[in-house]
Structure 1
């Protein structure tokens, strides 16, 4: 391992000048480039035992240097952003007793769980130093799980309990042990500050940035995982929310792991991928249906690091997105941003045989856009059809340096009727279709929904993943509230009918509007046990009433979508806005998921075994 040395840089605490930046860049890169070369030789997982570089450097001196040079500053938030703020762990389960309506008798027993960012130490921090400023972007923050347990008692009545807990990644454990902000933000800000943070984080902790695990929760082979694509998933005890450790598929996967793996139709294998800032930029992996081994792995030989968030599957193919939202360390060292969306860049969709390699991928050039979430993909004759939510630009990472963040985000949520705003810069997200002809190479593109609603966070009946489906559900953006907050807020839910088109060939859409000043997060589809139709089931979601500062869970009948929720459950704790949720249909066993519980604010302890209720997969 190369030894990196630091020279004392005497300059003021203001943003470095161009000359100072060039001098700093030259000095830093003389050490940074050998480090990158050596990093390529190191297994890509958190190094808990210090390397020679750390052993030859006083860790305490590094901490002292960092603490004296870098000052942590709290992010300022607007009152309209209050429910994006973190909460404390409640420690043990709490009974949920405030229930309006009736939980359907055929609703499955199980756990509704949602992941989302919950920063330590009261919220996001930025740093100020002689190297400039660096800060977190809004999608960062340590992952916290929020879970509502549905247990049916012997008398047919429901027992409901709520719990929350941080995902205990290795970097979270470090900061908890030190009891102070320790990792320097290394995503957004002045290039010298980010590069310094990158290097100092690695020297002190063996990781260049925090491992967040804040995006999604998924199940495979009866085990449950929290995940964000900057690291491996963490296995979770679904009853206690305790983190059991990293999942590297018995040592066969040592790189980032997508937040949206998909179960292959028919086989039940788990199709996933991982993107990295260094080559190989994109690798795909397939995990056996029992989760014991990696049965296939391929480097798709990307020429750039595309920040790909999702992957699609059909009966025979994997569907790959390569769009121009990229991570580029070289761009960063040249003074540019680490993450950037290039609206002039190329965009393509790849269709790959399930166990193929880079040479077997058939690529289709498509119109440049930004896509984070896939609705579904399926085969229709010679065509592979992909449905996803498409926007003109990316909400990640945010504005360039020197631009007011609040104003930048707010203007991009402006309503469609504002003729003074460039629609090519809008976050407005619509359902979209690509028809990819495997025989002729032709691409047909079209919008599936109009500009009446901006939507994202899609969900379907997962028994139809990879097959042609009739319905999908999504969270609907409240543009006015989002514009005021400068952050996305979802004021309702939508049901899309793909077999029913309206004018301009748009699909029919039903809208479930939430009350004023109430917004949803982590919505999920819950299939009805024994259901015979695709929309036999419910949509469940966390909602927050900002006027009353009260969080609830609602259940909406998917067949009577526009009607009032069939049940509203008021939670004893605030649930901040987050990302993806899932309903895990499990048998909780003879004992309660939470022992020693009591009503209201009293806490409980979870224990006992879990039996997964297997889904009948559509053939």
Structure 2
């Protein structure tokens, strides 16, 4: 069988071939070398094979995969039980168990959170004559968990919970097959990952699965889910039904980064998308009504930096070019697909809203790995960027051959108190709030930590009315380093409120000078949060007039809740604790969308009212 210049023979057999025979060992060891002469062909593989493969070729490739590749579930430890998936509910459920009171002036609307929920019960690995490849901890089909806050005519609150899978094309394909079908493509032996690319493309016309499991955002009145590996999926916010993928009427042909930004003033959506082949990174500007791609530019980077987020100011787009890179050439040479290059350079680019690569002003900064930003804004000649900065990446995980649990357990330990000096290698994935000041006139850069080493902080968020303009407050999730290290998975045991304009009154040591004031809201013992967002008060006057809302799970009771915390009384107890009818696994990013008169749209006689939790038969445990 031949396709797109890559030729190989498929031999079907009832028994799986021995992986220890000299012929297979030679084939495995030389597969990467065999790909090198066809480097340009590999770059064009998804497009060309998708157009040329016929049904009989797919059948032969399916038979080969079924014969040669073995899928194995990745096990979870008891301390990782709330990372396990749950079943999809058939309908929404009215929630009656509410401790405290939902404030009268809380916004009517939908609180939604995205996160991975592997369809067949677990992340998978495969083994074959090519070696092994595995899903990483950030993979798994996306599932939305939504809480609907409906206010009746007499001011009484009704709360409804729903969950639903994000049904991408690849989700539907595997659901129809009723078994894991896509070979893992992110980490593993180079020949195994390359063969996964090849056989996924031959069988499905796609290199890998479309997860859409990371975040949710709104633009022009529509709601979308997103992840770095595919275009956004439009969803019906009332039913959580997946409608279609969004390519801006055919004008955008690559994924979005997980955190596009609305430009202050214009309401235009600034997006960025990466690709493993040139052009590596492109930026786009979408009209405020979502109908037209107004601008598109290639940043002309010489590497594919894994850009999870970007920033905007009133006039500029802000990009991070950091040494966490996707490199197909490295993969073909036997190395990992994704790697943080310890000796690599980092820089931040500032580009006019409708600029091109030649208009970008680049600022060299200290090497770092920053996945998430609080905000960017202009301050005189400076552009200021606040984010959660680490010195290494926790994605994808350890190099081949290292024990995953041991690696994550070491990396997630608390940082030991010290009065100075550098941190150890095992403390490099400790993100904490950080400031960059980029002077456009002089070209100079000022950098500093905003907080100390008591807590690692990530998943930052702000009052979104202040995106792109100077703000006083930021919020983020606090990593419980002890629980995270013990489980080998990241867990967040509290929340933080940052006062960017106020100095920490307890700063006394010399290295603490300049650290900012932080307030903490710690959760109950063995309770961890995800998807926290800020919900502004409808007629609020000040920036922090509103609430922080978050999903939490108590691992001792196996009960999931949603907490509402008053932002101005951040250290006080939650004003409301909403106990959910079933377990909600830990996930990634959340969003809140105000919707008026929601009760008329969401409530129906078909929605049951439950005072107790859904039986265990409806919730995987």
Give the TM-score category using the shorter length: over 0.9
Deviation at 1:316, TM superposition (A): 0.5
Shift of 1:589: 4.3
Deviation at residue 304 of structure 1 after TM alignment: 0.2
Match of 2:533 in 1: 524
**Shift of residue 418 of structure 1?**
7.9
Q: Which residue of 2 aligns with 1:541?
A: 550
Q: Which residue of structure 1 lines up, in the alignment, with residue 451 of structure 2?
A: 449
CA distance in structure 1 between the aligned counterparts of 2:45 and 2:122, rounded to whole angstroms: 34
1:247-295 deviations in Å (ceiling 9; x for gaps):
0111110101111010000100000100110110000000000101000
Note the alpha carbon deviations across 1:281-319, whole angstroms, 9 max, x for none: 000000000101000100010100000100000011010
Question: How far 1:214 moved relative to its partner?
Answer: 0.3
Counterparts of 1:271 and 1:153, CA distance in 2: 37
Contact between 1:93 and 1:594, CA under 8 Å: does it hold in 2?
no
Q: Residue 204 of structure 1 corresponds to which residue in structure 2?
A: 203
2:618 maps to what in 1?
none
Q: Which residue of 1 aligns with 2:492?
A: 490
Distance in 1, matches of 2:89 and 2:441, equals: 56
Are residues 409 and 191 of structure 1, via their aligned partners in 2, closer, same or farther at CA, if it must alter by over 3 Å?
A: same
Please report how far the alpha carbon of residue 11 of structure 1 lies from its aligned counterpart in structure 2 after TM superposition. 7.3
The counterpart of 1:505, out of the listed 498, 502, 514, is 514
Q: How does 1:27-66 map to 2 (within 5 A)?
A: 27-29=34-36, 33-37=40-44, 39=46, 51-55=51-55, 57-66=56-65
> What is the CA–CA distance in structure 1 between the aligned matches of 2:29 and 2:583, rounded to whole Å?
47
Q: 2:6 aligns to what SS in structure 1?
A: coil
Residues 92 and 127 (structure 1), Cα distance of their counterparts in 2 relative to 1, 3 Å cut: same
The answer for the alignment partner of 1:270 in structure 2 is: 269
Say if 1:470 and 1:497, in contact at 8 Å, map to a contact too. Answer: yes
- 1:95-494 equivalences in 2 (<5 Å): 95-417=94-416, 422-423=424-425, 425-494=427-496
| Rounded Cα–Cα distance in structure 2 between residues aligned with 1:15 and 1:30 | 26
Q: Name the Cα RMSD after superposition.
A: 2.0
Distance 1:75 1:591 in 2: 44
- Unaligned ranges ≥5, structure 2: 508-512, 615-621
How many residue pairs end up in the alignment? Answer: 595
1:332 Cα deviation (Å)?
0.3
Report if aligned partners of 2:413, 2:427 keep a CA contact under 8 Å in 1: no
C-alpha deviation, 1:25, in angstroms: 2.5
C-alpha distance in 1, partners of 2:51/2:613?
Answer: 45
For each residue in 1:137-168, what CA deviation from the matched residue of structure 2 results, as whole angstroms up to 9, or x when unmatched? Answer: 00011100000000001121101000000000
Moved over 3 A (4+): 7-12, 14-22, 26-33, 418-421
Counterpart contact for 1:392–1:424, Cα < 8 Å? no
Q: State the Cα distance separating 1:30 from its structure 2 match.
A: 5.4
Rounded Cα–Cα distance in structure 2 between residues aligned with 1:171 and 1:343: 35
Query: What's 1:94 paired with?
Result: 93
- Residue 562 (1) aligns with residue 564 (2): no
- What whole-Å deviation, never above 9, does each CA across 1:82-113 have from its counterpart, x for those lacking one? 00111110111011000000000000100000
Contact 1:94 1:602 in 2 (8 A): no
Check the 8 A contact 2:136/2:186 in 1, yes or no: yes
Q: Deviations over 1:105-126 (max 9, x none)?
A: 0001000000000011111010
Partner Cα distance (1:372, 1:161) in 2? 32
> So what's the TM-score if we normalise by structure 1?
0.93
Q: Does 1:25 align with 2:37?
A: no
The SS at the match of 2:518 is strand
Question: Could you say what secondary structure the match of 1:340 adopts?
Answer: strand
- 1:409 alignment partner, SS class: helix
**Residue 617 of structure 2 aligns with which residue?**
none
Matched residues in 2 for 1:588 and 1:208: separation?
A: 43
1:170-227 CA distances to partner (integer Å, 9 max, x unpaired)? 0000000101110000110000000001110000001100000000000001000000
Q: Is the 8 A contact 1:552 1:569 kept in 2?
A: yes
Q: Does 1:13 align with 2:19?
A: yes
TM-score (norm: length of structure 2)? 0.93
Gaps of 5+ in 1: 604-619
Give me the whole-angstrom Cα distance separating, in 2, the residues matched to 1:335 and 1:423. 25
Q: In structure 2, what is the Cα distance between the partners aligned to 1:74 and 1:407? A: 19
